[in-house]
Chains A and B, each alone.
Chain A
Amino acid sequence: MRKFRIVLAGHGTLPAALLATTELICGPVADAAAVGLEPTESPDHYTESLRDAIGHDGRRVLVLCDLLGGTPFNVASAIARRSPRVVCISGTSLAIAVEAALADGDLDDALVERLLEVGRSGIVETERHRARRAS
């Protein structure tokens, strides 16, 4: 059983869609939330929304962000730098979200490394991927 919360953070409707799509693949995802940044929303307001989604119960939280340098990531990484229970990843793909949703146990270094690797290894171009697999 997963022992941490997942918060999907990103621009517009992407986080909600990513959560819904993750659930298409792995069934209902417990203890997860999606927080989308609206075009006119201020960073301060988004910070409040993200803090609410992260919760104040001391649980560990994995925040999966869409874009390095985007406001959702900037806000999440500012929170993560100040609270060790929060881990923030950017460049989230469906593969990363699924891996996180299906994770068992704690949000530890090994899991974070695995999520980063799942993200990187999921980026391929068919011809190059085929050539590599054939060799």
Chain B
Amino acid sequence: MRNDRMSLRLVRIDDRLIHGQVVAGWLRALGAQRIVIVDDATAADEFLREVLSLAAPPGVPVEVLDLVGGAARCIDLAASQEPVIVLARSPRTVLALRQAGVPIEVVDLGGLGAGPGRRRLHRTISVSADELAELRELEQLGTRVEIRIVADDRPIALRSLDPAR
């Protein structure tokens, strides 16, 4: 049996954080009424925090936390059973959350842009060598890593695309 009740159902890595796929698709699919963003740079920028809070539908609070605050908050939320969406910009942040003791059942690769030195894994998902190593480490810690851009997509396991395997 999966330990659904004690772990966050979905942590999404998306370099855009909140956008159309998240508000129009994932909020509904998860029945989530709260968005938690864990990102040091965003948490330190009042303007970005405000713009992100404007991006959520009315009634859906947006919490923007740094890594330390985010880890504590995520541990509480995992225990509370409240359906939430946790968003991070990078695999590094999610790995740090996991290492800080946040129980994460699945990490969803939802959006990681292309660029120099980045390998395209699938459609709009590209990773650097460092990011790929961080994702593998997450798998070793027992977190499934899947590509699932919109909620209707069939999840694609990272291990089925990982060039080293």
Contacts and interface: CB of A to CB of B under 8 A. Distances in A.
Contacts of A102: none
Majority-rule SS of B interface residues: helix
Contacts of A67: 20, 23-24
A70 B25 CA distance: 11
Contacts of B55: 68-69, 73-74, 77
A59 B55 CA distance: 26
Interface in A37-86: 39-40, 42-43, 67-71, 73-74, 77-78, 81-82
Contacts of A42: 113
Interface residues of A, number: 16
A77 B51 contact: yes
Contacts of B18: 69, 74
B28 interface: no
Interface in B1-56: 16, 18-20, 22-24, 47, 50-52, 54-56
Given A39-B124, A43-B16, A71-B16, A77 B23 contact: no
A70 B124 contact: no
A81 B50 CA distance: 9
Contacts of B57: 68-69
B51 A70 contact: no
Given A39-B124, A40-B124, A42-B113, A69 B20 contact: yes
Contact of B114 (A39, A40, A74, A81): A40
A42 B114 CA distance: 9
B20 A81 contact: no
Contacts of B47: 78, 81-82
Contacts of A78: 47, 51
Nearest to A82: B47
Contacts of B16: 43, 71, 74
Which of A42, A43, A71, A74 is the most central at the interface, judged by chain B CB atoms within 10 Å of its CB? A74
A68 B114 contact: no
Given A40-B114, A43-B16, A69 B51 contact: no
Nearest to B51: A78
Contact of A69 (B23, B50, B114): B23
Interface of B: 16, 18-20, 22-24, 47, 50-52, 54-57, 113-114, 124
Given A69-B22, A70-B23, A77-B54, 4 more contacts: A11-B20, A68-B55, A69-B20, A74-B54
23 contacts: A11-B20, A39-B124, A43-B16, A43-B19, A67-B20, A67-B24, A68-B23, A68-B55, A69-B18, A69-B56, A69-B57, A70-B20, A70-B23, A71-B19, A74-B16, A74-B52, A74-B55, A77-B51, A77-B55, A78-B47, A81-B47, A81-B50, A82-B47
